[in-house]
């Protein structure tokens, strides 16, 4: 069977087909040849988790609060005429702190005094007649009632005048000044805040897994970084209701403040020593991270160099390390520093092994 003669058009189509196929194969080969090499593994520093048997120290971050804070407000309304104290000023009990306009109250006192004088005069005039029984008993009862009412009205008017002056109920320090001359004073609205700082309270949250080991009177060490000083105190209060969001209980440590160095609002580190020895796995604090849900976790490096993110439960601090009750076994390597872009399952390169956390601290005192 003879093939039909190839025309010029069909020959051109075949050349075009083969040329297109060749170019497609060539492009695939080029793409395979220039594929980027995988990125090098990230470099990290690790530490070996260690098991220790030591007295545990709970470490918490908190703030300094006043032992007692009292909001002072005027008992009567009026326009503030004078504020006699400044923030930070020490005051004594009974000292005048501020005044409102007293003219209307003074006028009311004058009216009450005049009525009281009138009632007293009527009483003196009718008393002899009452003894002689020339005044009916009903009339005499009215006179006596009028005298008592006038005396009470006079007492109330006098109190109104006295209340135009705001006085300190006890000795303390003015922490806040809300009132200024010209402002309108309203009963119940704080004009000044008085605090007691001879003893201050270091307030800090305690995890629900740790609160059982805290008791009233327990010794505590408070370190205030702003002052570079260490203070000794004792637990005064332990919260009975957990914070619904953080599941922590608030404790308050009473710290003597005789020299007034501790000021309200300062940040403090609170250390509570647990008397009973415990066994725990300790890692450097830098190894404990927070996942996207806000839960503590660590990255463990396998012998093959692969990362594994593991949730952990922090039980406290042992000296310079963080003690864990779950998630890490003794001898495992945990990441302490390196790229922040760590992820579960990636390969890393260990460049340095940090020293294991020590279970002793200067904050722990016998």
Predicted local confidence at residue 344, as pLDDT: 87
User: Is 263 a residue whose pLDDT tops 80?
Assistant: yes
Tokens 């956390």 sit on residue: 357
Q: Which residue has the higher pLDDT, 360 or 74?
A: 74
Please tell me the distance from the alpha carbon of residue 76 to that of residue 204, in angstroms, as a whole number. Answer: 38
Confidence band, pLDDT 50/70/90 cuts, at residue 121: very high
Under DSSP, is residue 173 helix (H, G, I), strand (E, B) or coil? Answer: strand
Chain mean pLDDT for the chain: 84
User: Is 359 a residue whose pLDDT tops 70?
Assistant: no
Q: Which residue has the higher pLDDT, 184 or 24?
A: 184
Residue 284's CB is within 10 A of a number of other CB atoms, namely: 21
Predicted local confidence at residue 297, as pLDDT: 92
The mean-pLDDT minimum among 35-49, 55-69, 260-274 falls in 35-49
Please tell me the distance from the alpha carbon of residue 203 to that of residue 262, in angstroms, as a whole number. Answer: 13
Predicted local confidence at residue 315, as pLDDT: 73
Predicted local confidence at residue 30, as pLDDT: 47
List residues bridging with 353 in a β-sheet: 46
What are the tokens at 322? 């963080």
Exposed/middle/buried for residue 126 (C-beta within 10 Å: 0-12, 13-18, 19+): middle
Q: Would residue 120 be called left, alpha or beta, if left means φ above 0 and alpha means ψ between -120 and 50 degrees?
A: alpha
Report how far Cα 39 is from the mean position of its chain's Cα atoms: 44
User: Is 363 a residue whose pLDDT tops 60?
Assistant: no
CB under 8 Å to 44, separation ≥6 — which residues? 299, 301, 335, 336, 337, 338, 339, 342, 348, 349, 350, 351
User: What does the buried/exposed string (b/e) look like for 320-333 if buried means 16 or more CB atoms within 10 Å of the residue's CB?
Assistant: bbbbbeebbeeebb
Please tell me the distance from the alpha carbon of residue 44 to that of residue 24, in angstroms, as a whole number. Answer: 44
Exposed/middle/buried for residue 175 (C-beta within 10 Å: 0-12, 13-18, 19+): buried
Predicted local confidence at residue 362, as pLDDT: 40
The mean-pLDDT minimum among 64-73, 180-189, 324-333 falls in 324-333
Please tell me the distance from the alpha carbon of residue 357 to that of residue 295, in angstroms, as a whole number. Answer: 22
CB under 8 Å to 212, separation ≥6 — which residues? none
What are the tokens at 219? 């010794």
User: Is 63 a residue whose pLDDT tops 70?
Assistant: yes
User: Is 358 a residue whose pLDDT tops 60?
Assistant: no
Q: Which residue has the higher pLDDT, 135 or 262?
A: 262
DSSP sequence for 204-247: EEEETTTGGG--TT-EEEEEETTTTEEEEEEEEEE-SS--TTT-
Residue 294's CB is within 10 A of a number of other CB atoms, namely: 7
What are the tokens at 124? 């003196």
As a whole number, mean pLDDT of residues 94-109 equals 94
Rounded to 5°, the CA angle 50-52-54 comes to 150
Confidence band, pLDDT 50/70/90 cuts, at residue 71: very high
Tokens 């004073």 sit on residue: 185
Q: Which residue has the higher pLDDT, 258 or 320?
A: 258
First to last CA, the chain: 111
Q: What domains appear along the chain, each with residue ranges and CATH number?
A: 46-65+196-353 (2.40.30.170), 76-101+164-190 (2.40.50.100), 103-162 (1.10.287.470)
User: Is 167 a residue whose pLDDT tops 90?
Assistant: yes
Convert the pLDDT of each residue in 312-343 to its tens digit: 988 777 667 888 878 899 999 999 987 677 88
List residues bridging with 64 in a β-sheet: 202
* pLDDT > 70: percent of the chain: 83
Q: Which residue has the higher pLDDT, 223 or 37?
A: 223
Predicted local confidence at residue 1, as pLDDT: 46
How would you classify the pairing of strands 289-290 and 90-91? Answer: unpaired
Q: Which of 138, 147, 74 is nearest to 115 (CA)?
A: 147
Convert the pLDDT of each residue in 208-255 to its tens digit: 877 888 899 999 999 999 999 999 999 999 999 988 888 889 999 999
As a whole number, mean pLDDT of residues 60-80 equals 93
Predicted TM-score (pTM) of the model is: 0.57
Confidence band, pLDDT 50/70/90 cuts, at residue 355: low
User: Is 346 a residue whose pLDDT tops 70?
Assistant: yes
Tokens 């930070």 sit on residue: 88
């Amino acid at each position: 069977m003879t093939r039909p003669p190839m025309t010029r058009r069909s020959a051109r189509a075949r050349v075009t087909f083969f040329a297109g196929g060749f170019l497609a194969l060539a492009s695939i080969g080029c793409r395979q040849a220039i594929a980027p090499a995988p990125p090098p593994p990230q470099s990290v520093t690790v530490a070996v988790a260690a098991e220790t048997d030591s007295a545990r120290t709970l470490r918490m971050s908190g703030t300094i609060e006043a032992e007692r804070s009292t909001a002072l407000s005027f008992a009567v309304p009026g326009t503030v005429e004078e504020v006699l104290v400044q923030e930070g000023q020490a005051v004594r009990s009974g000292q005048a702190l501020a005044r409102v306009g007293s003219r209307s109250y003074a006028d009311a006192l004058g009216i009450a005094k005049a009525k009281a004088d009138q009632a007293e005069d009527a009483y003196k005039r009718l008393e002899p007649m009452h003894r002689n029984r020339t005044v009916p008993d009903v009339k005499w009862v009215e006179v006596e009632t009028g005298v008592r009412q006038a005396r009470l009205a006079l007492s109330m008017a006098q109190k109104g005048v006295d209340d135009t002056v705001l006085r300190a109920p006890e000795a303390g320090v003015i922490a806040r000044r809300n009132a200024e001359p010209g402002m309108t004073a309203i009963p119940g609205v704080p004009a000044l805040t008085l605090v007691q700082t001879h003893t201050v309270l270091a307030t800090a949250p305690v995890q629900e897994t740790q609160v059982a080991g805290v008791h009233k009177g327990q010794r505590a060490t408070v370190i205030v970084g702003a002052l570079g000083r260490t203070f000794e105190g004792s637990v005064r209060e332990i919260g009975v209701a957990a914070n619904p969001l953080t599941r922590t209980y608030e404790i308050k440590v009473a710290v003597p403040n005789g020299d007034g160095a501790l000021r309200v609002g300062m940040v403090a580190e609170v250390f509570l020593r647990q008397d009973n020895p415990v066994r725990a796995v300790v890692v450097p604090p830098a190894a404990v991270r927070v996942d996207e849900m806000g839960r503590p976790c660590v990255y463990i490096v396998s012998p093959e160099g692969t990362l594994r993110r593991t949730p952990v439960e922090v039980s406290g601090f042992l000296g310079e390390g963080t003690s864990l009750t779950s998630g890490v076994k003794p001898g495992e390597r945990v990441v302490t520093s390196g790229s922040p872009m760590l992820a579960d399952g990636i390969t890393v390169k260990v460049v340095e092994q940090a020293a294991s956390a020590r279970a002793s601290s200067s904050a722990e005192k016998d």
